[in-house]
Amino acid sequence: MELQKRLALQVVKNDILADKDVEYLCGIDVSYVNDTANCSALIMERYSYHTIEVANLSIRTTHPYIPGLFMLREAKPLLATLKLLKKEFDILLIDGHGILHPRRCGLACYIGLVLNKPTIGVGKRLVCGYVRDDQFIEDHGQVLGFRMNNQRKNKKSVYVSVGNLISLVSSIRIVEELTKEGHWIPEPLRIADINSKNILNFR
- Tens of pLDDT along 100-121? 999 999 999 999 999 999 999 9
Domain made up of 2-202: CATH architecture: 2-Layer Sandwich (3.30)
Whether 203 shows a pLDDT value over 90: the answer reads: no
With cut-offs at 50, 70 and 90, classify the pLDDT of residue 123: very high
Q: How many CA atoms lie within 13 A of 149 on its CB side?
A: 11
Contacts with 75 (C-beta within 8 Å, 6 or more apart), sequence order? 107, 110, 111, 114
What pLDDT score does 156 carry? Answer: 85
Is the confidence at residue 185, as pLDDT, over 60?
yes
**In which band, very low, low, confident or very high, does the pLDDT at 182 lie, cut at 50, 70 and 90?**
confident
pTM for the whole thing? 0.93
Sign of CA dihedral 86, 91, 92, 95: negative
In Å, how far from its chain's centre is CA 182? 20
Query: Looking at the predicted structure, is the pLDDT value of residue 69 above 80?
Result: no
Asked whether the predicted pLDDT for residue 122 surpasses 80, the reply is: yes
pLDDT value at residue 68: 57
Once rounded to an integer, what is the mean pLDDT over residues 7-15?
Answer: 95
- What share of the chain in percent tops pLDDT 90? 77
- The β-bridge partners of 56 are 40
